[in-house]
Amino acid sequence: MCAELANGNESSAAELLRQLALDLRWSWHHGSDELWKRLDPELWERTGNPWVVLKTASPQRLARALADPDFCKILERLRRTAESDARAPAWFQQVHADSGLTRVAYFSMEFMLSEALPIYAGGLGNVAGDQLKAASDLGVPIVGVGLLYGQGYFRQVINRDGAQQALYPYNDPGQLPITPLLKPNGEWLRLEIRTPGYSLWLRGWQVKVGRLHLYLLDSNDIANHPTHRGITSELYGGGPELRLQQELILGLGGWRLLDAMDLRPEVCHLNEGHAALAILERARSCMEESNVSFDAALTATRAGNVFTTHTAVAAGFDRFAPALIKQYLESYANTSLHINLQQLLALGRENPSDDLEPFNMASLAMHGCAHVNGVSRLHGEVSRRIFLPLFPRWPAAEVPIDHITNGVHSPSWDSSGADALWTDYCGKDRWLGALHTVGERIRSVPDSAIWQCRIADRRSLIEYARRRLAAQLAASGSSAEEIDNVKRLFNPQALTLGFARRFATYKRPDLLLHDPERLARLLKNSERPVQLIIAGKAHPADIPGQAMIQEWVQFVRRYDIRPHAIFLSDYDMLMTAQLVAGIDVWVNTPRRPWEACGTSGMKVLVNGGLNLSELDGWWAEAYAPTLGWALGDGGEHGEDPGVDAAEAGQLYDLLEYHVIPEFYSRDENNLPQAWVSRARESMASLTPVYSANRSVREYTERCYLPAAASYRSRAQNKAALGAQISDWRRALERGWPTLRFGHVTIDTRGDRHYFNVEVDLGSLTWSSVSVELYADELNEETPFRQEMDYHQDRGSDRGWLSYSTNVPAIRAADDYTARIIPKHPNAYVPLEAPLVLWQR
């Protein structure tokens, strides 16, 4: 029974199997797939869950497998690979070994890692899961923190009328690839959160993700009241109170879990504002350790907090009524943070003096983080406009929000054929470090190799779609004849379009249906056939989104279009992997600029699929005419139905006159050379750039490393620097109303403008502020800013101080104005001190 394994690190082959099944590395490294297939082919095909396969296998079946020499050879190879990978230094250890960064805590409401762990809904979880996987590949020291949902996000069923129905099957922890968190003495790790009137007990769970761990909390503890046991039942279910309870568990409970495990991250990364309460708990821990005030502790810890916003409209942020915050957090604020309710509410408001304004988790995140970013270049611009009210009188361009465009974890989304192709030309370890040479190597792939890969992936998708639709029809009570007809559905040689995403009105999933007759004609063209796969869920409370699903189902029936178009229900991770591998053109039609990023279209890149998308999110920065097709004019038009109609016409035109002809334009070898050339260039130019490998390296070097260094500086010596910056900010707030501008003189001599400004700083010192010359951006991405020189000996006898500078006279002198802003060598301005006084 695999005797050669007995001398390894594990005590038995069975234990090694257990460890392999519990490490979600199998979700992107498929070397162990054959093991689970041999144990139970049918269950493996249906679930793709090694832990279920292993737990379900009888002792007799397991013994037979372990007595099989071929099975043991695979197992031994996997053991050696695991040991070798553990010893080999990854990118982070090679490049940043001396950085001092030991741990990043990554908080997210959802994580999409595998269908075996269904604790995700969509894009936010996709980003979180892919970034954890990439961090494992790269060796970046991240721990994930999330929630274990008893039912997760709903499962979708389409009834015979085409209406969506929501089901909530139970996530049995015993069948999930997770293990309970235990204390050193073997006791189950449980946390207590005290709320007014009761204690809420939380259980901890561990998920292994390659080199990393994801820690999950749930409230389904036997000591809790039945109502409270269900707090972590559904993802994005219930009303505001349930959402706040979940965010209490994620934020406060998540940080306490790290404390209980003696994990001390230098960096706390909030993937959206849901976990913003972790900011408060981190500050509370600092208060306790350093014996400082809440404001000093928040200032010290803020430097190590990173906030990524994914929301493109202000209405999308979680907001809670002040009364609800009072109910759940007033006691915590008073007794743990030593601040009053109004001070707490001010952290989540744009206008602290407005008692009616709700508490906004995104505002709390902005007030509590030193590094803030959107998830595409365009979304960074949108986010600066959204958060502008937090920085009154500051230009939108200076709102301190950067962008790091999302990427996808390519090994999770490539087909087996695409993986082999990339391996042949770019090597097995192509996604494990910098990606400088990957693009050039893939450009050398012959046309025939790319096209054969596309044919195989399209055929595999069609076979999958037939199976999935047959099961869907059977579940809805369709006839045996209708189910049998599915076997003849679709043509493996035909152009295959895909539209799959959350059904929400701003994504305009009905844009393709604007002229249903024209769409039907395009699909039914016998000479150049087109086939379309649609999938997606609408939130159970989103009635318009559900109506769009029904409209699609009815279109398929009304125009007798099923041989050419289908709607596949219950869009999940397994379906996504099939779609992004086999789809020829991924269609995306959001209303600009409401798609923050849109990672679904990135997943087709590694497989040679192409994008036809609105110039929104990532496609606004990625698009080039040689890479795919663009919809829209790059402008923002709101919800104008005239624009929707025009863009629907443009979409049909692109398909009819560009996409379809190019696909069917073949050479003497039946190769669509122009199409393959476009696919190759898309693979080479875009796959490396829009990968999670690139985005995680960006987060590491632009956010995590500087955040960790700044946090250590502020937190050392009992948070002395944090307290100093806190005092500086309070002094600014007291003295700012006393600032005044005096005389301003401008002298143009030759090719330069000379400015002299008199300033009365009132009660403030000259070292605590900066006097700048400012001009709006002119053919530049950023405004002009130049600090003026302070002349201590040139002030007047009335207390005025003199500042001067000069600039090239390439712009009119009236373009420039002087302003006073806060200044501190270790502070983030305007994030921590959004004060500004303009000369005019």
> In this predicted model, what pLDDT tens digit does every residue of 358-412 receive, in sequence order?
999 999 999 999 999 999 999 999 999 999 999 999 999 999 999 999 999 999 9
Per-residue model confidence (pLDDT) at position 269: 98
Amino acid letter, 196: P
Helix 361-368 × helix 277-290 angle, to 10°? 40
Whether residue 702 is predicted with pLDDT greater than 60 in this model: the reply is: yes
Termini Cα distance of the chain: 84
* 550-571 average pLDDT score: 91
Q: Look-up: residue for tokens 């279109």?
A: 555
3-state SS, residue 715: helix
> In this predicted model, what pLDDT tens digit does every residue of 73-117 receive, in sequence order?
999 999 898 888 888 899 999 999 999 999 999 999 999 999 999
Per-residue model confidence (pLDDT) at position 3: 54
User: Could you tell me the two tokens for 244?
Assistant: 């706040």
* 780-794 average pLDDT score: 83
Task: Quote the DSSP letter at residue 347.
Answer: T
> In this predicted model, what pLDDT tens digit does every residue of 5-61 receive, in sequence order?
544 444 588 899 999 999 999 999 988 999 999 999 999 988 889 999 999 999 999
Confidence of residue 797 (pLDDT cuts 50, 70, 90): low
Per-residue model confidence (pLDDT) at position 86: 83
Helix 641-654 × helix 516-524 angle, to 10°? 10
Q: CA angle at residue 772 from 775 to 703, to 5 degrees? A: 85
* 571-581 average pLDDT score: 96
Q: What residue ranges define each of the domains in the chain, with the CATH number in brackets? A: 3-87 (no CATH), 102-324+700-714 (3.40.50.2000), 410-424+436-686 (3.40.50.2000), 739-838 (2.60.40)
Regarding pTM above 0.85, the answer is yes
Confidence of residue 791 (pLDDT cuts 50, 70, 90): confident
Listed residue (500, 444, 457, 414) closest to 693, CA to CA: 414
Side by side, the strands of the sheet bearing 837-838 are 784-787, 769-775, 817-822, 837-838
Per-residue model confidence (pLDDT) at position 6: 43
Per-residue model confidence (pLDDT) at position 796: 53
Q: How far apart are CA 614 and CA 600, in angstroms?
A: 13
Per-residue model confidence (pLDDT) at position 794: 53
Task: Quote the DSSP letter at residue 837.
Answer: E
> In this predicted model, what pLDDT tens digit does every residue of 402-428 receive, in sequence order?
999 999 999 999 999 999 999 999 999
Q: How far apart are CA 429 and CA 438, in angstroms?
A: 11
* 738-747 average pLDDT score: 95
> In this predicted model, what pLDDT tens digit does every residue of 464-477 receive, in sequence order?
999 999 999 888 88
Q: For the chain, how long is the longest CA-to-CA vector?
A: 98
CB 256 within 8 A of CB 107: no
Amino acid letter, 273: G
Mean pLDDT of the chain: 94
Confidence of residue 830 (pLDDT cuts 50, 70, 90): very high
Whether residue 780 is predicted with pLDDT greater than 90 in this model: the reply is: no
CB 142 within 8 A of CB 104: yes
> In this predicted model, what pLDDT tens digit does every residue of 495-520 receive, in sequence order?
999 999 999 999 999 999 999 999 99
Whether residue 189 is predicted with pLDDT greater than 50 in this model: the reply is: yes
Phi, psi (deg, nearest 5) at residue 149? -95, 130
Q: How far is C-alpha 194 from the geometric centre of its chain's CA atoms?
A: 31
CB 778 within 8 A of CB 811: yes
Phi, psi (deg, nearest 5) at residue 571? -55, 115
The Cβ of residue 483 has, within 10 Å, a number of other Cβ atoms equal to 15
Listed residue (577, 612, 583) closest to 462, CA to CA: 583
Per-residue model confidence (pLDDT) at position 606: 98
> In this predicted model, what pLDDT tens digit does every residue of 606-637 receive, in sequence order?
999 999 999 999 999 999 999 999 999 999 99
Q: How far apart are CA 835 and CA 555, in angstroms?
A: 56
3-state SS, residue 402: strand
Confidence of residue 655 (pLDDT cuts 50, 70, 90): very high
Q: How far apart are CA 55 and CA 58, in angstroms?
A: 8
- Torsion angle, alpha carbons of 34, 35, 40, 41, to 10: 0
Q: How far apart are CA 364 and CA 386, in angstroms?
A: 14
Per-residue model confidence (pLDDT) at position 684: 97
Q: How far apart are CA 755 and CA 332, in angstroms?
A: 52
* 290-302 average pLDDT score: 98
Q: How far apart are CA 302 and CA 279, in angstroms?
A: 8
Whether residue 812 is predicted with pLDDT greater than 80 in this model: the reply is: yes
- At CB < 8 A and 24+ separation, what contacts does 255-259 make? 255/105, 255/281, 255/282, 255/285, 256/191, 256/193, 256/281, 257/145, 257/181, 257/189, 257/191, 257/202, 257/204, 257/215, 257/217, 258/105, 258/143, 258/145, 258/215, 259/285
- With b meaning 16 or more CB within 10 Å and e meaning fewer, what string describes 230-267? bbbbbbbbeeeebbbbbbbbbbbbbbbbbeebebebbb
Q: Look-up: residue for tokens 């919809």?
A: 631
Per-residue model confidence (pLDDT) at position 10: 40
Q: Is 149 exposed, middle or buried (0-12, 13-18, 19+ CB in 10 A)?
A: buried
